[in-house]
Each structure stands twice: as C-alpha cells, then as structure tokens.
Amino acid sequence: MTSIDTVLASGRERLDEEMDALEGSVGYEETAYALPVTYAVTGMAVHDAASAREAYAASGSSVLVAGECLAAAGYAAEGGEGEPYTGFVPDTVLRRLGYSLVDGSIAGIGLVAGSPDDADAAAAICREMQEKYLLTFLAGGVIKTLTEAGVKVGLEYRLVPLGSTGMAAIHFADIIARVAMMFGGVQPGDTDRLLNYAAERAKAFVIAFPGLEDEEVAVIDGFRVLSIPILTPEGYEGGEWIRVPYLEAVREGMERRGIRVNVVAIPIPMACSPAFEGKSIRKEEMYVEFGGAKAAAFELLRVRPADEVEDGRVEVIGPEVGDLEEGSAVPLAILVDVAGASMKKDYEPVLERRIHTFLNYGEGSWHVAQRDLVWVRLTKDVVRRGVAIADLGRLLASKFRVEFPDLLDAVQVTLVTDRERVEAMLEEARAIYDERDERIAGMKDEDVGTYYSCTLCQTFAPNHVCIITPERPALCGAITWLDAKIAYEIAPAGANQPVEKGELIDPVLGQFEGVNRFVKKASHSAVDRVSLYGMMEEPMTCCGCFECIATILPEVNGIMIVNRDYLGDTPLGMTFSTLAGTIGGGAQTPGFVGISKGYILSDRFLQAENGIERVVWMPSLLRNELKGRLEEKLERMGIPELFDKIADETVAVSVEDLAEFLARVDHPALAMRPLI
C-alpha cells in the first residue's frame, strides 16, 4: 500500500530535479496551443528548456506544468511511442472529441492509470465506462493488461491508449485544457476561468491503479485542481484520493462529477410517445383494467436513499397479465421509488403527477385520475403483442430518468397486483397523501425568501408576469410555488424564474421591492409595481388563464368571485367571458383581478380589502366546490356563520336582489370601510 502523502513529496522533488536538468527543445506537433496546460495556465508558449522553466516558475511550480514540460521534451527529442499508443492527441482529433462532449454523445471522460493486478476487474471497469457513454483514456500498464485480456483499445472503442507509462496521464489534462480554450472561450493565461470551466464543464474523473512512480502520482494528484476526483480501488491510501471498491468506481466517479447517461429507447413491445397521450381505451378494446372504483388502486412516488434504489429495476408482485382473464378488473399499486442528490421530499407530488402523463404515452396504456383514485387500462391489442404489467414499470422507470435527468439518478418501479397487499398498503399511502397536503397547506409566504415568476403566457399576453408565492398559486391554478420551484430546477432557463422578494414595502398590500424590480423587468417596463395581496391598488396583471375573477361590487361594498365554469349572469351585469375579455391581456385593472381557486382559501386572499370577509357572492358551483375547506377556514377564523351569508345565483343575480339579501343576513362587508 502506497501512502499518497509520503510519495507526493518525493514525487514533487523528482519533478523539480528533472525540470532543473531539462535541456533542448520542448514541444508538441499538430497543435495551435503549444503545451496546452502550460499555455492555458500561464499564457506562455513554451518551446525550449529555458522557457519551460520560466513557465514552471510563473505557474507557481504547478506539477501539471512540470509534467507537461517533461513529456513534451521527450516528444521533441524522440517523438511519440508509436502503435498502439496515441501519445499527444493532435488538434484535429481533439476537435472531434470536443464536439462529441459538447454535443452530448460522450457523457464524460475518465482516465484509468497504473497497472491493475486484476485484469478482469480492470476490464469490467472499462466495459462499464463504455456502456455509460464515457470516453476513457488509459495510461500505464493497464493498456497491456487490457489487451492481453482480449479487450480492444483505440479511439473507435472509446478506450484511448495514451502511453505505456503513468506519465502519459498528462495528456488527459492537456485535452481538458484545449477543450476549455477551443470550446469554452477560455483565454490562455486566465487560470481562474480555466479552473471554473474545469469545475463546471469538464465531466472527468480518474481511476488510479497501483504501480505509479512517485512523480506520476504527483502529476495525477495535480488533476484535483481541475476538480477531477481521483478514485482508487487498490494500492493507495491517504491524501485526497478516494478509496472505492472496484465495482463502485465508475458509479462513484460519475456521481461525483454529475455525469448522467440519457436513456433513449424504452425496451417495451409497444410504442411510447406524447402522440398517444390524448387517446382513450374503450371497454371493448380493453384487455384488463386496474382500479377505477372496481378494485382498489393507488400510485405513490417516494424519494429513497440512493442505496435502496436500483436504477431500472422493475418488479411485479402478484398476478401478471398472463394470469388474468380478459375483461377483468384488478387491484394495482404503482410504487415508484426514486433517488437523486438534488431530489427532495417536497418534489414527490409533482413528480407523482407525471405517472399520469407517462402511462398515457404508451400506445396501449391509459391512465386517469390520481392518488388512490387511479384507473388504468391496457388494450387487447398490445397485450397480444406481448405487453405485460412489468412493461408499465419499464415505461415509467425510463421516462422518469429521461425527463428528469438532473433530478433523478435512479428510478425503480414496483407494481403490486395482489389484492391483499394492495389493500394493506392503501392505508399507508393515504397517510402519506394527507401528510403532503398538510405540508403544502402549511407553507406561508413569510417562510420563504424567494417567490417564483411565471411568464409562460407572455406568448399571448406579452407583458404579463405571474408572481407565485406559497399562499398565492398562479392565477391559472395549475402551478403552485413548489411546482414553480421544481420547474426552475429542471429548466433553469425556463418560464419560472426565482424572484428574491427583497425588502418589504407594504405588508398589507403585499408589495416587495425585489418583486417590483423583477416585474418591471419581466413586463418590459409596462408594470412598475404589483400588490400580491390586494386588488384595488396596483393588482397583479392577468393573462387570460385565470380560474376565477374577483371584482368589486361598489353598490354593496363587497367582492364577488366568478369562476370560469359558470356561464350565467352575475350581479355585475357581465358573464365570466365578458369580464375576462375586459381584464385580460396583461393589463393591471384596479378592482378586478384574476385568481386561482386555491388562493380564495389562503389567509393572504385579498387581505388589503379584508379578504374572505368581504366576499358577498360566488356561483353555487364554486361555493359547493370550496364548501368543506371554506367552512373549515371560517370556523378557524371564528366566523362560521359567514358561509351562509355569501350569496350565489340562486339567491341573487341582480345587484338589487343581492343588496337586499346582504342586508337581511347582515353581511359584514356592509359595515366595512368603503372600497371606493
């Protein structure tokens, strides 16, 4: 066992000595980047021993610079090693490699250096790297070990044999330096940008085997400055080198550098595409169905520790499709377990909703509703073609990985069709649903420093900006604060951007300095200020997607709310659609505001205008939909009687009738400060 700490010092000393003893010319051919690492770090184009020593000093005695100068001196004196070794990779070849890296056809790069004792283990590591779309460079005895074990090496196999000694590892660094200069716009001599580029873009790691000379260890250890982790399955201990078991080395390296492989084709015997999303499967076409009130069924997506999730694993517990009679209704539990470094428990419900979308992508699979109300069908046609219940799991596992590459590292799916087990798990699932509802319901605006924007609708309402807070979902009702947060994490350049709320300007109106600044910019200077919690002064703009409109009724000093589904007249004398045409398009219309249904139940609901206590009218449809939750809220507020004081169209459609009703029930709005 070699102690890194011990050999580093002697390795550095050897490099120093060799630099001192350096003579003659120093340089590579077929490159416009001189000695690439040295050039990138110092900006100096080295060509002989003297300039090499100068650059070495200028770099602050960088081991990488020393290693490169020594390697290039060897080249200048004797040329490359020749077949099968590539040695220094010329610019033209490198350009292609860089292309594949930027283009994503290579997921990342790895260096395997040293002389492994166990040829099979080394071969297994290289095979895994090939399978994971990594480009692997080899330096040292490992090349001989591999070729003797029958492994083919060469650029075409994505196993690049750099050279017979560990010192050839330096070419791994010169490749990264040149990619940074060619593709990353890093200027020679700008070390900070080089290191940034390496940290953010160079998806690289090293696996080191025993047998490296001291100075080779020193050079490879120097790679750490480029944010390259050094993993070692055997032979070394100490320093900053990371001990890993053989089988874990590649996974560990990929994980540390955030390298992810995109799975493209889904290995199931039916087509899978958004094209099939809108289809329905009629009873006559159906082979088997799950849930849908005919049998217990539910779906649950949970985040699990990485070691409990085996990526791609699909298991069916209970009867498979072949065991089921045509036309039967069967229980089903869809359990999706996910793992990922940046995956959080809060994301579970949002990702769980995607089960619906993904299962509908299947040519012959259909899914409706959510949670413990799900209903799934498979067609006779695809069952005849060999689609099994397990294929639904494969579909889900692949789609989740493909759609959320940055969020999820592993997805496994368990499908349970055994009645007893499904029923037993149902209670547990319901407890989790309740817990989630509470978590979102319990979130307050003051608990967070960041709100989110939504500018999806700028396509047709060019200056409209939605500000989404925990207590005020987007006015379309489709995007909560958590949804927006996740959308941002998944697509950082997308339509949901973080909005630092900044200094509080007015706690009642809900005006924040940061929000105003954001809105001004995102609305292209059309809107200077917005009140998140009010409708009379600088209310939020409306696109056209609002679930409901809240407007003032000056005659009764109250607020009425009308929802999109209500087609009749309102006490304002306008239907929903007439009203919508008046206030949409990205304008600020004091006295009128587009809102989601969820916002009505929020404690922040139009608090500047006294909130829910000011509401005098809403259609019975909406009133009934909100009934349970609204009554609960009013109970909590100590005004349970208010619910019955809110009129609907069965009580009043004209403002005169409404006024009479409100007076009769003594609605609190009548006694409030005038709205106008």
* Residue 294 within binding range of other proteins, rule CB under 8 A: no
* Residue 639 within binding range of other proteins, rule CB under 8 A: no
**Shortest reach from residue 650's CB to other proteins, in Å:** 43
* Residue 378 within binding range of other proteins, rule CB under 8 A: no
* Residue 184 within binding range of other proteins, rule CB under 8 A: yes
Specify the residue, 367 or 464, whose C-beta has the smaller distance to other proteins: 464
> x/- binding map, residues 259-278, to other proteins, per CB under 8 A?
--------------------
Nearest to 41 by CA among 74, 65, 9: 65
Specify the residue, 476 or 675, whose C-beta has the smaller distance to other proteins: 476
Nearest to 652 by CA among 553, 545, 580, 585: 553
Rounded distance between C-alpha atoms, residue 535 and residue 590, angstroms: 6
* Residue 95 within binding range of other proteins, rule CB under 8 A: yes
The site that binds other proteins (CB under 8 A) totals a number of residues, namely: 27
Strand partners, 511: 506
Contacts of 85 (CB under 8 A, 6+ apart): 143, 161, 162, 163, 164, 168
* Residue 155 within binding range of other proteins, rule CB under 8 A: no
Specify the residue, 376 or 457, whose C-beta has the smaller distance to other proteins: 457
AA identity, residue 572: L
Rounded distance between C-alpha atoms, residue 578 and residue 120, angstroms: 74
Nearest to 617 by CA among 667, 664, 564: 667
**Shortest reach from residue 532's CB to other proteins, in Å:** 22
> x/- binding map, residues 459-498, to other proteins, per CB under 8 A?
x--x----------------------------x-xxx---
> x/- binding map, residues 524-553, to other proteins, per CB under 8 A?
xxx---------------------------
Please identify which residue in 4, 177, 334, 456 interacts with other proteins, judged by CB under 8 A.
456
Specify the residue, 61 or 525, whose C-beta has the smaller distance to other proteins: 525
What number of other Cβ atoms are within 10 A of residue 636's Cβ? Answer: 10
Q: Which stretch binds other proteins (CB under 8 A): 76-84, 98-106, 414-422, 634-642?
A: 98-106
Q: Which stretch binds other proteins (CB under 8 A): 90-98, 281-289, 319-327, 342-350?
A: 90-98
Which structure tokens are listed for 129? Answer: 């790297």
**Shortest reach from residue 453's CB to other proteins, in Å:** 12
Are the beta carbons of 413 and 389 closer than 8 angstroms?
no
Residues numbered 188-227 forming contacts with other proteins, rule: CB under 8 A: 201
What value, to the nearest 5°, has the Cα angle with vertex 612 and ends 609 and 618?
110
- DSSP secondary structure letters along 261-304: ----S--SSS-B-GGGTT----GGGEEEEEETTSS-EEEEEEE-
Specify the residue, 177 or 456, whose C-beta has the smaller distance to other proteins: 456
Specify the residue, 200 or 423, whose C-beta has the smaller distance to other proteins: 200
Pairing of strands 242-243, 230-232: parallel
Strand order through the sheet with 410-416: 297-303, 332-339, 410-416, 314-317
Q: Which stretch binds other proteins (CB under 8 A): 102-110, 120-128, 365-373, 565-573?
A: 102-110
Specify the residue, 92 or 650, whose C-beta has the smaller distance to other proteins: 92
What number of other Cβ atoms are within 10 A of residue 104's Cβ? Answer: 10
* Residue whose token pair is 């056809």: 105
Q: Which stretch binds other proteins (CB under 8 A): 178-186, 282-290, 351-359, 498-506?
A: 178-186
* Residue 133 within binding range of other proteins, rule CB under 8 A: no
Q: Which stretch binds other proteins (CB under 8 A): 211-219, 322-330, 523-531, 641-649?
A: 523-531
**Shortest reach from residue 158's CB to other proteins, in Å:** 14
Specify the residue, 298 or 400, whose C-beta has the smaller distance to other proteins: 400
Strand partners, 159: 136, 154
419, containing H or E segment: helix 419-441
Q: Which stretch binds other proteins (CB under 8 A): 92-100, 304-312, 473-481, 552-560?
A: 92-100
Nearest to 583 by CA among 601, 599, 571, 595: 595
Specify the residue, 453 or 557, whose C-beta has the smaller distance to other proteins: 453
Contacts of 642 (CB under 8 A, 6+ apart): 612, 613, 634, 668
Nearest to 287 by CA among 384, 399, 208, 359: 384
Please identify which residue in 183, 246, 276, 643 interacts with other proteins, judged by CB under 8 A.
183
Rounded distance between C-alpha atoms, residue 173 and residue 451, angstroms: 42
**Shortest reach from residue 474's CB to other proteins, in Å:** 15
**Shortest reach from residue 184's CB to other proteins, in Å:** 5
Rounded distance between C-alpha atoms, residue 179 and residue 97, angstroms: 9
Which structure tokens are listed for 349? Answer: 């419900």
Please identify which residue in 73, 182, 535, 669 interacts with other proteins, judged by CB under 8 A.
182
Q: Is the peptide bond before 36 cis (omega within 30 degrees of 0)?
A: no
Among the residues of 463-584, which ranges form H helices?
A: 481-490, 513-522, 576-583
The footprint of other proteins (CB under 8 A) covers 95-96, 98-105, 182-185, 201, 455-456, 458-459, 462, 491, 493-495, 524-526
